[in-house]
Structure 1
Amino acid sequence: MSNQSETALPAATADLVDLLTRAQRALARDLGTVLEEEGTSVDQWRVLRALDGAEGRSMGELAAEVEIPHPTLTRIVDTLVDSAYLYRSQSSRDRRRVSVHVSDLGRRKLRRLDALAAAHEQAMAARLGPDTVATLSAMLRSVRERL
C-alpha cells in the first residue's frame, strides 16, 4: 500500500508543476497582450513595480526580488533606462555599487500599467469567480512562503 502512495506523489508533483507553469504562462500571455497597449512587457512592468517606492536597488537585489536571471534583467533595465523610465546612480554608501531607480516618467508609466493590470485582473476574477481567485491567491501565497 505504501508503494502506491510513494509512486503517486511524484506523478502528482509533476502534474502540479505542469499545471502551475501552464496557468502562469496563460495569465502572463493575457496580461502581456493588455500591457502591449502601453508598449510594455510583463517583466518590464514587474521591474517597475519592484522599484517603485524603493530608494533604489542593486541589480542583485532586483534580480532576487523579481526572480529574473541577471542577463535578462540587464536587458530589461537597459530598455527601461533608454526609455527614461529608470535611471542608474552610484550608491552613496559604496561607490563601486550601482543602484537602479524609477524616474518620475517611470512612475507615471507605472500608474497607467497598474490600471491596465487591475482591469485585467478584475476581468479574470469575473470569469473565474471572486471566491476562486481569493482561494487560489491564498494557496499560492502559502506555497511560496513554504518553498
Structure 2
Amino acid sequence: MMDSELRAFQKNLPMALLRARETVMGHFRPLLRLHDITEQQWRVIRALYGKPGLEVSALADKTLLLMPSLTRILKALEEREFVTSSMVEGDNRRKLIRLDHKGRAVHQMMSPLSEAEYKKIEAKLGAKKLKTLYQLLNDLSD
C-alpha cells in the first residue's frame, strides 16, 4: 500500500467501530423504545443513578454529550420529572442535576433488562473476548 492510498473500506476503523456500535445498540433500542427514552436520555439517567447529583459540565463529560445537546436532553427529562436541577450554592453560574424518583424508577425497571442484553452479548463473544474488547477500547481512548 502506498502512503497516498486509503486502506480498504472494510479495514476502516471508524466504520468498524460504527458497525459494532450499531450492532450493540440493536440490543438496547427496543428496551429504550419500550420506556420511551432516547439513547442519550438513558446515558444521562445512568450517569446520575446512585449519585447525589452532577454539575452539568461533569455530566456532559461523563455522557460524551455536547453541551447544546445535553441542555435539550435535560429540558426533556425535567419536563418528564426524571431529573431536577438547581443552582450550585454560592455560584449561580453552575447548575447541579439530580435524578428524581421517576428517573430512579425508570433506571430500576430498565437495569435488569439491560443487564440481560449484556449477558447475550457476553454469551456471543465470551467473557474473555469481551474483557479484551473493553481493554482495547479503553487503550484506544486513552
Alignment partner of 1:39 is 2:36: yes
Q: Distance in 1 between matches of 2:94 and 2:117?
A: 37
**In structure 1, which of residues 53, 57, 63 is the aligned counterpart of residue 60 of structure 2?**
63
Q: In the alignment, what sits opposite 1:11?
A: 7
Q: Distance in 2 between matches of 1:82 and 1:123?
A: 34
Whether the 8 Å CA contact 2:56–2:94 is kept in 1: the answer is no
Give TM-score, length-normalised by structure 1. Answer: 0.82
Structure 1 segments unaligned to the other structure (5+ residues):
none
Task: Report which stretch shifted further, 77-86 or 126-135.
Answer: 126-135
Q: In the alignment, what sits opposite 1:119?
A: 116
> SS in structure 1 opposite 2:109?
helix
Q: Give the RMSD, CA atoms, in angstroms.
A: 2.3
Q: Distance in 2 between matches of 1:144 and 1:59?
A: 22
Whether the 8 Å CA contact 1:35–1:41 is kept in 2: the answer is yes
User: Which structure shows the bigger proportion of residues in strand conformation?
Assistant: 2
Displacement after TM superposition at 1:83 (Å):
1.2
Displacement after TM superposition at 1:7 (Å):
5.7
**In structure 2, which of residues 122, 130, 134 is the aligned counterpart of residue 133 of structure 1?**
130
Give 1:120's aligned amino acid: E
Displacement after TM superposition at 1:26 (Å):
2.4
Q: Percent same amino acid at aligned positions?
A: 26
Q: Distance in 2 between matches of 1:28 and 1:51?
A: 20
Over 4 Å off, 4+ runs: 4-8
Q: In the alignment, what sits opposite 1:80?
A: 77
Whether the 8 Å CA contact 1:88–1:101 is kept in 2: the answer is yes
Whether the 8 Å CA contact 1:35–1:117 is kept in 2: the answer is no
Give 2:134's aligned amino acid: S
Aligned pairs for 1:12-31 (under 5 A) are 15-31=12-28
Alignment partner of 1:89 is 2:60: no
Whether the 8 Å CA contact 1:31–1:117 is kept in 2: the answer is yes
Q: Distance in 1 between matches of 2:30 and 2:75?
A: 22
Q: Tell me the matched-pair count.
A: 141
Give 1:66's aligned amino acid: T
Give 1:19's aligned amino acid: A
Give TM-score, length-normalised by structure 2. Answer: 0.84
Deviations 1:47-68 (A, max 9, x none): 0111223332232221121111
Displacement after TM superposition at 1:129 (Å):
2.5
